[in-house]
Each structure stands twice: as structure tokens, then as C-alpha cells.
Structure 1
Amino acid sequence: MHLALRLVLLLTLLAALPAVGAEPSAPTPSPAQPTVIFMTDFGQRDDSVAICKGAMLGLEPRLRIIDLSHDVEPYSVLDGARFLAGTAPYYPAGTVFVTVIDPGVGSERRALVAKTKRGQFFVLPDNGLTTLLEHQEGITEVRNITNAAWHFSPNLSSTFHGRDVFAPVGARLARGDDWTQVGPPITDWQRLNIPQVKLTDTALNGTVLAIEHPFGNLVTNADGALLAKLGYQRGDTARVTFGKGRELRVPLVTTFSAVPVGKPLMYVDSRGRVAFAVNQGHFAQQNSVKPLTTFVLRRK
């Protein structure tokens, strides 16, 4: 019996060895960890963010939740739209973005899931948050969340749809549930009214999208490549007017310290857009500029 046992063990070890000349087998890839990118204007002073995360993790404990921001300017759909468009390109297909900037919570506004050409999903209220994504990423389909089975519970709060609607829908999508079951497709979702950049023979007409906090830099909707079409190169001085204000003269530079402290400048920001700042100052306050202020940048 002892000899027979040794023979069985030897045959087992030989069977486990790869055949001569055989390629080693590739390791079996582990499934991607389901990921939710979470953004709200809730702030961090109370338990709202943690409650929403709990609603998601209760449905999918493997979930990885990445905080985009919870300090979005309260009620600022435009800022939310800007942050979604700025963040989406850095995450893979299948990522789910849950956004709760929802001044119309409890009203007749719809709750949506939007799918982009990149294959990402965006769970959010129907108030214009998809506007910049649509221009940048392309949206293939939008569905109205009407299936109550996807909610946190049958009884919805009238003021906390982050917990009751958006969080559970995001978690179900991230774990692989069939997104077409959330509700019917729609085509009339809301868009923000953001004027498009216009380039004429004499000037560029654009819009300030946001004030970059806390520094006061202006974020615009103008692509930095348009500066060359206006004839500008680094070191040139540009003439620009914001709203009905006076014309300013600002140098085109690559970074803030290229001008003395307290002096204004124009540059192309990290996302490739035309931007304005004051070195160690607050451009928006100094020039009374707010989001959606129009500007005219004269040709060189």
C-alpha cells in the first residue's frame, strides 16, 4: 500500500507539469471592480453623503465609490455639468457617475440615466447636468427612471432622492443590472442654454462658464486652439471685454508667475480652454465677472 500511494502521488505531480514546449497559461483576469463616481452639493457637515454611500454599498458591497466633489456650489447645475464633462474622459467604459445637484427635488422633474458613446452611465436629475457631456462625449440614449423596483424603498422621501433614487440606481447599474429596465427612453431631456463660441473676422465671442474657487480664475467655453486663429502667440497682449465692462489688456502667458503679483493674464488652462487670472489675486472679484458673463476677445 505504501508503494502504491507513492506511485499515485508521483503520477499526480507529473500530470500537473506543463507539456514540453507548451506556452504557460495566462492568468484568469479578475472582473473589474464596479465603480461609482459620486458628486453632490451636500457638503460634508452632515450625514447625507454617508447615507447615500450606505444605500449603494447595501446593494453592492464590492462597490468602489470615488468622490468627485461634495462641495459643488449649492444648486449650481452649471458647475455640476462642467465637473462631469471634465472628469468623464479619465474613467473607463462601464463607470457609473451618480450626481445629486437637484434644486427641483420632489417636483415634477424627472430622474434620468444617460449613456454616452464612451459606454459610461450618468444617473442624475433632469435639469441640464448632461449639457456639456452631450457636446463633448455624445449621448447615445437617455432613460427616465420610472421603475420603482430600482428605488431604495417603495416610499420615496420628497426631499432626499439622493438616497432613495439616484444612489440605488447607480449601485444597480454598477453591479451589472440591465439598465433598460429603469424605465422608458426619452429624447426631450433638459439642456442648459449656454451660447456657443462665435469666431468672426474681428473677434471671438465667448461665455464665462465658471469661477474657479478659491482663486477667482475665469473658466470659459473657448478652446485654447482658437487663440492661434485670432493671431495670438505667447507673449502677445490681448484686448478683452467682459459684459459691459471696460476693455482690458492682458498678456498671453503659460503660467501665473509669468506676470508680476497682482497683474492679470490670459492662459490656456489644464483642460485646454481659454482662461483668465490674476497672479495671486482674484480676477472675478476685481473685474465684477460672474458665471455666464459674455466676453469679447479682439483679434490681434
Structure 2
Amino acid sequence: MWENQALVTLLSDFGDRDVYVGVMKGVIAQINPKLRVVDLTHEIPAQNLAAARFCFMNAYPYFPEGTVHIAVVDPGVGSQRRAIAVEFAGGFLVGPDNGIFSGVLAQTPAIAAVELTNPQYWRTPEPSKTFHGRDIFAPVGAYLASGVSLQELGQAIDTATLTQLSLKLCHSTTTGVAGCIQYIDHFGNLVSNIPGSYVQGKKWCVQAGELIIPGCETYSDVACGEAAALVGSHGWVEIAINSGNAQSQLQINLQDSLEVIHD
């Protein structure tokens, strides 16, 4: 029936204990069983929009052009927040308009966006107030991946009105660059919002509160249990503990400030 067979990705804070993720995949398969679905992660901390933003921002470049990315981290589900689909150079984004796509769109600006107002492409014209992932986002993503145009899904909206997360920006100082922790991964590594390009070719360290942490190339440049600052595979400056958990050991959390100091 469907000629188009784009890839679909899923990201959520649903975890794997409940059936929510499987149900979304079932809805997608009912529309087009030939679609390939990739799970980015379903272990986003509950309702943590900053973590969802970071993970999406660092995942999308590894997928082919035309991929449909569905996100369901949605503390405002059932409220007046918009349900949206966005076209950008890499494909499409489908989910709530709450800022989770703002990292991607800061790197690759939106081409067009719609509010998902056409119930023809929902699972039901009377969606659940608590599970738009099943009733709106999964079916819309499946139809997009199968060749339905963005314009058919709803009313066009100005891309400048898409919600931005309120996050601290990095900025230059007299001694280096100041920023904050934007993400904490499974290992407790503290990922800053300072791009690794700021430290390339320099001798540097990180100051976080009273701590001075040396800039390194790898985790093993310091002894087990010691802190190191380095550029992670994601391209951002991070703080880690060799064979340990930096968040718990250093008591540094999301949005906490730090500064990269270089010669």
C-alpha cells in the first residue's frame, strides 16, 4: 500500500517496565508494518526535557536523511501545549512543542512546522488525555514515514514560535569559557554545554566550585577514582571519574556552573 519506507526513531521516558513503548510500536505497525523502528532510548529521566533535548541533539546526525524522529517526554500532555511535526534538513520531528527539539533545531533550523490538528492521521479522533504518544505522535510519525506530506497533518505554524528550553548559554570570560552541566549520562559523567572546539590544541582545566579538574585526552589519564575533564564522543567538554561516578562523587548536578580555563 505504502511506497515510502522511511526509518522511524522513538525516544521517551517510558522505561521498559510498562507496555507503553510496545503499544506505540503496535500502532505504527498497524499503519505500515514494513516501517523500520529504532529505539533511541526509553530511559530518559521522567519528565526531564533537558535530557531529552540533549539526547536527540546528539543522535539525529547518525540517521539517514528523511528519518522520522518521534519523541514522547511530555509533562504537559493533555494541556494546551501544541502537538507538532517539524521538517528540517535531516527529516522530521514529531512530538510535543515543549522544547525537546530545540537542540536539534539550533544546529539544523526548521524548514516548516505544523500543529497536529487533523484527526484523520490520529489513532482516534478522541485521543487519551494522558497518552498522546499512542494516539497522536506514533500514528502521525507512521504516516509521515509512509509518505503523507507534512501539510496534510495540520495547520502551518511559524517556526519562530516553537518552544525553546530555557538553558544557560556558554560565554567567554577573561580566563576561558563559562558554561553549565546540560546532561548527566548513565555512568554519572557530567556533560557541559561547552563545545570541545574551545579546548582543541590548548592546555586547559575545568573549575567547578572549588574543584580544579585537569583537562585530559582519556579517562585513563588519571588514576582510578580521580576526576578528569575531557571532550566526550558527543563533542562536549565533560567531567568524569575514572572507573567511578562523577555526579555522586563530586555532587555536581544539572545546570551547575563550571568554567574551562586555558592558557
TM-score normalised by L of structure 1 = 0.83
Q: Supply the AA of the counterpart residue of 1:280.
A: S
Kindly indicate whether residue 173 of structure 2 is the aligned counterpart of residue 200 of structure 1: yes
- On the 8 A contact 2:206/2:229 being kept in 1, the answer is no
How many residue pairs match? The answer is 259
CA displacement at 1:112 relative to structure 2? 0.5
Distance 2:39 2:123 in 1: 21
- On the 8 A contact 1:36/1:63 being kept in 2, the answer is yes
Kindly indicate whether residue 217 of structure 2 is the aligned counterpart of residue 254 of structure 1: yes
- On the 8 A contact 1:39/1:100 being kept in 2, the answer is yes
Larger RCO, structures 1/2 (Cα 8 Å, 6+ apart) = 2
Larger Rg: 1
CA displacement at 1:106 relative to structure 2? 0.8
Kindly indicate whether residue 254 of structure 2 is the aligned counterpart of residue 298 of structure 1: no
Kindly indicate whether residue 39 of structure 2 is the aligned counterpart of residue 76 of structure 1: no
Kindly indicate whether residue 122 of structure 2 is the aligned counterpart of residue 155 of structure 1: no
Query: Of 144, 159, 162, which residue of structure 1 is paired with 2:115?
Result: 144
Q: Supply the AA of the counterpart residue of 1:179.
A: L
- On the 8 A contact 2:4/2:146 being kept in 1, the answer is no
CA displacement at 1:32 relative to structure 2? 6.7
Give the equivalent residue in structure 2 for 1:28: none
Q: CA 1:275 to 1:292, structure 2 compared with 1: closer, same or farther past 3 Å?
A: same
- On the 8 A contact 2:123/2:136 being kept in 1, the answer is yes
| Identical amino acids, percent of aligned pairs | 34
Distance 2:130 2:143 in 1: 22
Kindly indicate whether residue 78 of structure 2 is the aligned counterpart of residue 106 of structure 1: yes
- On the 8 A contact 1:209/1:292 being kept in 2, the answer is yes
Distance 2:174 2:156 in 1: 43
Distance 2:190 2:249 in 1: 12
Q: Supply the AA of the counterpart residue of 1:123.
A: V
Kindly indicate whether residue 234 of structure 2 is the aligned counterpart of residue 271 of structure 1: yes
Query: Of 207, 213, 223, which residue of structure 2 is paired with 1:240?
Result: 207
Give the equivalent residue in structure 2 for 1:173: 144
Q: What is the SS of the residue equivalent to 1:225?
A: helix
Task: Tell me which moved more, 167-176 or 139-148.
Answer: 139-148
Q: How does 1:46-65 map to 2 (within 5 A)?
A: 46-65=18-37
CA displacement at 1:46 relative to structure 2? 1.6
Q: CA 1:80 to 1:239, structure 2 compared with 1: closer, same or farther past 3 Å?
A: closer
- On the 8 A contact 2:4/2:145 being kept in 1, the answer is no
Kindly indicate whether residue 153 of structure 2 is the aligned counterpart of residue 182 of structure 1: yes
TM-score normalised by L of structure 2 = 0.94
Q: What is the SS of the residue equivalent to 1:143?
A: strand
Distance 2:152 2:146 in 1: 14
Q: Which runs of 5+ in 1 are unaligned?
A: 1-30
- On the 8 A contact 2:8/2:145 being kept in 1, the answer is yes
What per-residue deviation string (whole Å, max 9, x for no partner) do you get for residues 219-246 of structure 1?
A: 1111111014xx733xx5x2512xxx31
Q: CA 1:299 to 1:257, structure 2 compared with 1: closer, same or farther past 3 Å?
A: closer
- On the 8 A contact 1:133/1:139 being kept in 2, the answer is no
Task: Tell me which moved more, 289-298 or 153-162.
Answer: 289-298
What per-residue deviation string (whole Å, max 9, x for no partner) do you get for residues 129-167 of structure 1?
A: 111011112211221101111110122111111110000
CA displacement at 1:173 relative to structure 2? 0.1
Distance 2:212 2:249 in 1: 14
CA displacement at 1:178 relative to structure 2? 1.4
Distance 2:227 2:26 in 1: 46
Distance 2:118 2:125 in 1: 10
Give the equivalent residue in structure 2 for 1:115: 87
Q: What is the SS of the residue equivalent to 2:199?
A: helix
Distance 2:176 2:192 in 1: 15
Distance 2:88 2:198 in 1: 27
Distance 2:249 2:240 in 1: 10
Give the equivalent residue in structure 1 for 2:135: 164
